[in-house]
Chains A and B, each alone.
Chain A
């Protein structure tokens, strides 16, 4: 199964409540994916800085980590811990140096995502538990995507939880299963992409990253994926300023959307949208098969 929720705000007055809404939406999709859950949140940020979301279980050395990395980079570093994830803010052009230093000094550090605005949190466990663990309801931002996973194609691990991110500020969640992911992964590896799991959904994320790197818009990248990716899928994709939805040509996996002047929302079932303010007056519709729906922040 798996459940997906997504919320893209048009009205900035709702931004302080993004996490609260997403957290309720995620909990409503618990029955569709009780194995693990994850959230991508697009919050505050600037182009000069990059946020690295890392999984570092041991909190005791956070102080040393920040001071050590500041000394290494010769620049200020911000550190925010949420449970076993840490978000580091560093100068935008110093990512590879910072990661090299981290891997050298902290065994077991794992990069979850990188981006000027995006942070990703994911963990095994029931979705409402995962949302509580990271205090999702306190997060603010412009858009966010969440996923509740019932694993079918690979193991129930934190790395196998969605969202997957294969490029800065890019993330993808997937309900379904791809049948040609091994072949596509091989081709993408030849193009220089790096994959961390054997998961089919990570390949879909990588494919879109590769297309966008080549100059495609999010809409164009998704359109080309209809032919390139074989299998069942409903994708919800986030970029720094964009939000998009695509279903496979026979629309195997469920999807329902709502749009109003205030927001665009996605849910695997209407139950996920029923918790939103003003849903009575939103236009509720089912996205068509093999049709890309994309929104961009102005």
Chain B
């Protein structure tokens, strides 16, 4: 089992080893100790491995992740799982701003709260936050699903495209062109599947409200100038 102690080794050594992992290797369980808020831990992994990070992490942890399953046993700083392509990133604590930003695929699970701009410009990633999310979340979200068991801050889904937002708690305010939408059968099924993948058994899809784009701002029209 590859094991890295970031007090003795650098993040670069860890990431280079991860990037060089052979596709048929039996080393599928990686262990990282003393993360101590360091940046870019396990960024750019592209292998079907499991990575356990023991402690809090800094910026861009598991950024650009492909296929790997990353568990962070602590809090994460700015941009955790940013631009993730596939795989799973599971944070046991809270996450700072821009979690899952621009993600194309995969699943980000946050046990605690997420700060501002969670899922900003999301492009297909699924994000499940078991606590609450901060302001400006899913800003310009293009595809994917953001599921929130707690509350959402101001300007939720501002200028959103086709990403979908499911919130069980209170929404402080909706951003420009974001509206509540009726949940269709396939929305309900997608939500149920995401809840189950995130290990949530006590939440029913009917307890959530769904938000998405009113599609008024896709193309510039001078009558909408005040909304931009």
What residues of chain B have their CB less than 8 Å away from a CB belonging to chain A? 36-38, 56-59, 75, 77-78, 93-94, 96-97, 115-116, 134-136
B96 touches A250 (CB 8 A): no
Interface of B is mostly: loop
How many A-B residue pairs have C-beta atoms within 8 angstroms? Tell me: 46
B96 x A289 contact (CB < 8 A): no
In the assembled complex, the Cα of A254 lies from the Cα of B95 at a distance in Å of: 12
Which residue in A250, A256, A271, A286 is a CB contact (below 8 Å) of B36? A271
Q: How large is the interface on A (under 10, 10 to 19, 20 to 34, 35 or more residues)?
A: 10 to 19
* Minimum-distance CB pairs A-B, first 7: A270-B37, A274-B36, A271-B37, A274-B37, A286-B115, A270-B56, A251-B116
Given A251-B134, A271-B38, decide whether A286 and B94 contact each other with a Cβ distance below 8 A: yes
Which residues of B are found within 8 Å of A288, using beta-carbon distances? 134
Which residues of A (238-296) have their CB < 8 Å from a CB of B? 250-251, 254, 256, 269-274, 284-286, 288-289
User: Are A269 and B37 in contact, CB atoms less than 8 angstroms apart?
Assistant: yes
Q: Would you give the shortest CB distance from B176 to chain A, in whole angstroms?
A: 15
A186 nearest CB across to chain B (Å): 32
* Known A-B contacts A250-B136, A251-B115, A251-B116; A284 and B58 likewise in contact (beta carbons under 8 Å): no
Q: Are A270 and B77 in contact (CB under 8 A)?
A: yes
What does the 1/0 interface line of A130-165 toward B look like (CB < 8 Å)?
A: 000000000000000000000000000000000000
Known: A251-B115, A251-B116, A254-B78. A286 touches B96 (CB 8 A): yes
Q: Within A88-106, which residues are at the interface with B (CB < 8 Å)?
A: none
Complex Cα–Cα for A286 and B117 (A): 14
Chain B residues within an 8 Å CB radius of A256: 77, 96
- In the bound assembly, the distance between CA atoms of A283 and B165 in angstroms comes to 29
Q: Known pairs A256-B77, A270-B37. 11 more at Cβ < 8 A?
A: A251-B97, A256-B96, A269-B37, A269-B77, A271-B38, A274-B36, A274-B56, A284-B94, A285-B94, A288-B134, A289-B135
Give every chain B residue within 8 A of A269 (Cβ-Cβ): 37, 58-59, 77
State A251–B134 Cα separation when bound (angstroms): 10
Tell me the complex Cα distance, A178–B22, Å. 51
